[in-house]
């Protein structure tokens, strides 16, 4: 049997938990059968940062990037390997240049989605550029912040246009708070956005063709934000949430992204749809962590074995044609968007691939999560994240949640295994 070897590169910042899990699972997976009797094997490496000649050929066939959103040397390397070498990237640096919230809001509004009313106001403080004083004196229009807020209506949110990790986000109830927040915004560029009084907050994590929709509790401390809840949305709302996430991802060619939606009644309001480096930490995802690792492994292997080609062009016209179809109702447009997104992610082929080529992966991951190796990762992760006096509490907390996952997953896989009781 001919063997094709693929090298996966991880471009990492400070994370240890999911990369270690990803490496372990990929190694346990072993060779995967491809078309024409070929066998595919996978090597994995953590990428180091060093000078590169622009004509060097990279050794990697696929790169998962968690670093380039703030570190520009690897970002430029990613652009080079995308443009010159066709390396498959999660995510492409070209598309995540649109990973400010702003571009995602624009795309979603253009596609007819229910983004709350949003206004972008100019910088509060002068921009650090010698030309600013002249330009602003000549061209900056004075504006009435109060009038904008009145028009949107209180309460509203003021938050950075590029956002992330709640930096600079405030909820504003009146003109005093409005001015205090704007004065404090300094060099940040801010959106004002109508506050949605929501019933439920759904956070979905998409990895390639898969999406996990989770009930999110933003007011809770980090380790309690994701609730384990399998049926918190009506089927129709759940379907809309998945469709919007896939749609935005397909539109921008994002393959590893998280999305936030606020739900009031049957209305779905997308508010945060662009996270170049979505949270996949064991300590925050807990019960959902094995799903995330499995989805990352499956999507990487699928892309490599099937020779999926990265697409740099966005083909926005195809999405806009649906948006502009005057004869179609909103549900019909959503169904059409979903078909387009599923076609981009080759959903059917992907699920068929997982069922036929990776039938043993579920068991491999279950075995691993139920075993001592994973427990060690859990303990090491807690020790690296929390202060010493909280270690016991968080180790017990995570063991409980992962033990629950092991029980649920064992039942799902047909009760073939019983939880050993170790956790
Ligand atoms: N329009 C809104 N209505 C209600 N809550 C909001 C709104 N915008 C933001 N929030 C709250 O603020 C949090 C942070 O805002 P978000 O846009 O997600 O920024 P970040 O990128 O920093 O996560 C959200 O998780 C949500 O709890
Ligand atoms: Mg957010």
Q: What is the pLDDT of residues 253-297, one digit of tens each?
A: 999 999 999 999 999 999 998 888 899 999 999 999 999 999 999
Dist. CA 271 → ligand 1 center (Å): 7
Report the nearest atom of ligand 1 relative to the CA of 163: 21
List the residue whose alpha carbon is closest to atom 1 of ligand 1.
Answer: 195
List the residue whose alpha carbon is closest to atom 13 of ligand 1.
Answer: 166
Report the nearest atom of ligand 1 relative to the CA of 195: 3
Dist. CA 249 → ligand 1 center (Å): 19
Q: Which positions ≥6 away from 77 have C-beta within 8 Å?
A: 52
Q: Which of 403, 393, 247 is nearest to 323 (CA)?
A: 247
List the residue whose alpha carbon is closest to atom 6 of ligand 1.
Answer: 195
Residues 354-383 have a mean pLDDT of: 97
Dist. CA 285 → ligand 2 center (Å): 15
User: For residues 78 and 305, what is the distance between their CA atoms, to the nearest angstrom?
Assistant: 21
Dist. CA 272 → ligand 1 center (Å): 7
Instruction: State if pTM tops 0.75.
Output: yes
Q: Which pLDDT tens digit goes with each residue over 11-59? A: 999 999 999 999 999 999 999 999 988 999 999 999 999 999 999 999 9
Opening angle at CA 289, ends 170 and 69, nearest 5: 50
The model's confidence at residue 414, banded by pLDDT at 50, 70 and 90, is confident
Dist. CA 364 → ligand 1 center (Å): 37
Dist. CA 261 → ligand 1 center (Å): 9
Helix or strand (DSSP H, E) at 174 = none
List the residue whose alpha carbon is closest to atom 7 of ligand 1.
Answer: 195
Q: What is the mean pLDDT of the chain?
A: 94
What strand order describes the sheet that includes 256-264?
A: 226-227, 210-216, 200-207, 256-264, 267-272
List the residue whose alpha carbon is closest to atom 22 of ligand 1.
Answer: 166
Structure tokens at 390: 């909280």
Dist. CA 260 → ligand 2 center (Å): 6
User: For residues 313 and 143, what is the distance between their CA atoms, to the nearest angstrom?
Assistant: 37
User: For residues 205 and 298, what is the distance between their CA atoms, to the nearest angstrom?
Assistant: 15
Pocket of ligand 1 (CB under 6 A): 116, 157, 159, 163-167, 169, 193-196, 218, 260, 262, 271-272
Dist. CA 410 → ligand 2 center (Å): 33
The answer, yes or no, to whether residue 1 has pLDDT greater than 80, is no
List the residue whose alpha carbon is closest to atom 14 of ligand 1.
Answer: 166
Pocket test of ligand 1: the residue of 159, 201, 269 to mutate, having most ligand atoms within 8 Å of its CB, is 159
Question: In this structure, which ligand is nearest to the CA of 193?
Answer: 1
Residue 327, judged by CB atoms within 10 A of its CB (0-12, 13-18, 19+), counts as exposed
The model's confidence at residue 421, banded by pLDDT at 50, 70 and 90, is very low
Question: In this structure, which ligand is nearest to the CA of 271?
Answer: 1
Report the nearest atom of ligand 1 relative to the CA of 219: 27
Report the pLDDT value the prediction gives residue 419, as an integer from 0 to 100: 45
Letter string b/e over residues 371-402, b meaning 16 or more CB atoms within 10 A of that residue's CB: eeebbebbeebbeebbeeeeeeebbebbbebb
Contact 366, 410 (CB under 8 A): yes
Report the nearest atom of ligand 1 relative to the CA of 193: 1
Report the pLDDT value the prediction gives residue 423, as an integer from 0 to 100: 43
Pocket test of ligand 1: the residue of 166, 167, 198, 220 to mutate, having most ligand atoms within 8 Å of its CB, is 166
Residue 119, judged by CB atoms within 10 A of its CB (0-12, 13-18, 19+), counts as middle
List the residue whose alpha carbon is closest to atom 21 of ligand 1.
Answer: 164
The answer, yes or no, to whether residue 87 has pLDDT greater than 50, is yes
User: For residues 247 and 254, what is the distance between their CA atoms, to the nearest angstrom?
Assistant: 10
Question: How far lies 55's CA from each of 50, 76, 80, 135, in Å?
Answer: 14, 13, 9, 40
Report the pLDDT value the prediction gives residue 98, as an integer from 0 to 100: 53
* 420 or 239, which is more confident: 239
SS3 label, residue 90: strand
The answer, yes or no, to whether residue 359 has pLDDT greater than 50, is yes
Report the nearest atom of ligand 1 relative to the CA of 167: 22
Report the pLDDT value the prediction gives residue 420, as an integer from 0 to 100: 45
The share of the chain scoring above pLDDT 90, in percent, equals: 87
Count Cα neighbours of 196 within 13 Å in the Cβ-side half-sphere: 21
Pocket test of ligand 1: the residue of 154, 155, 156, 157 to mutate, having most ligand atoms within 8 Å of its CB, is 157
């Amino acid at each position: 049997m001919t063997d094709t070897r693929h090298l996966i590169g991880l471009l990492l910042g400070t994370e240890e938990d999911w990369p270690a899990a990803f490496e372990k699972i990929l190694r346990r997976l072993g060779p995967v059968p491809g078309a024409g009797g070929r066998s595919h094997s996978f090597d994995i490496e953590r990428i180091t940062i060093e000078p590169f000649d622009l004509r060097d050929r990279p050794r990697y066939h696929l790169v998962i990037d968690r670093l380039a959103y703030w570190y520009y040397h690897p970002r430029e390397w990613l652009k080079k390997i995308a443009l010159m070498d066709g390396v498959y990237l999660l995510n492409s640096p070209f598309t995540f240049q649109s990973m400010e919230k702003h571009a995602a809001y624009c795309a979603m509004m253009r596609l007819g989605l229910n983004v709350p009313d949003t206004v972008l106001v100019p910088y509060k403080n002068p921009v650090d550029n010698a030309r600013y004083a002249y330009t602003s004196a000549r061209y900056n229009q004075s504006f009435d912040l109060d009038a904008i807020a009145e028009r949107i209506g209180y309460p509203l949110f003021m938050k950075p246009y590029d956002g992330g990790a709640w930096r600079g986000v405030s909820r504003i109830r009146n003109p005093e708070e409005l001015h205090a927040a704007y004065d404090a915004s300094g060099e940040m560029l801010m959106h004002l956005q109508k506050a949605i009084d929501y019933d439920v907050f759904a956070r979905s994590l998409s990895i390639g063709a898969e999406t996990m929709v989770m009930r999110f509790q933003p007011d809770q401390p980090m380790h309690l934000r994701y609730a384990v809840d399998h049926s918190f949305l009506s089927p129709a709302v759940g379907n809309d949430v998945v469709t919007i996430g896939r749609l935005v991802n397909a539109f921008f060619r994002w393959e590893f992204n998280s999305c936030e939606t606020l739900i009031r009644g049957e209305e779905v309001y997308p508010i945060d749809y662009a996270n170049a480096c979505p949270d996949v930490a064991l300590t925050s995802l807990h019960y959902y962590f094995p799903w995330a690792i499995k989805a990352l492994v499956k999507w990487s292997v699928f892309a490599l074995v099937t020779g999926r080609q990265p697409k740099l062009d966005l083909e926005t016209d195809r999405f806009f044609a649906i948006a502009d179809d005057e004869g179609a109702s909103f549900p019909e447009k959503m169904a059409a968007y979903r078909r387009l997104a599923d076609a981009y992610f080759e959903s059917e082929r992907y699920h068929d691939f997982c069922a036929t080529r990776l039938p043993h992966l579920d068991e491999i991951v279950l075995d691993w999560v139920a075993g001592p190796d994973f427990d060690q990762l859990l303990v090491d992760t807690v020790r690296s994240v929390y202060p010493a006096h909280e270690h016991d509490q968080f180790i017990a907390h995570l063991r409980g949640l992962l033990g629950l996952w092991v029980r649920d997953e064992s039942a799902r896989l047909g009760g073939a295994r019983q939880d050993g009781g170790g956790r």
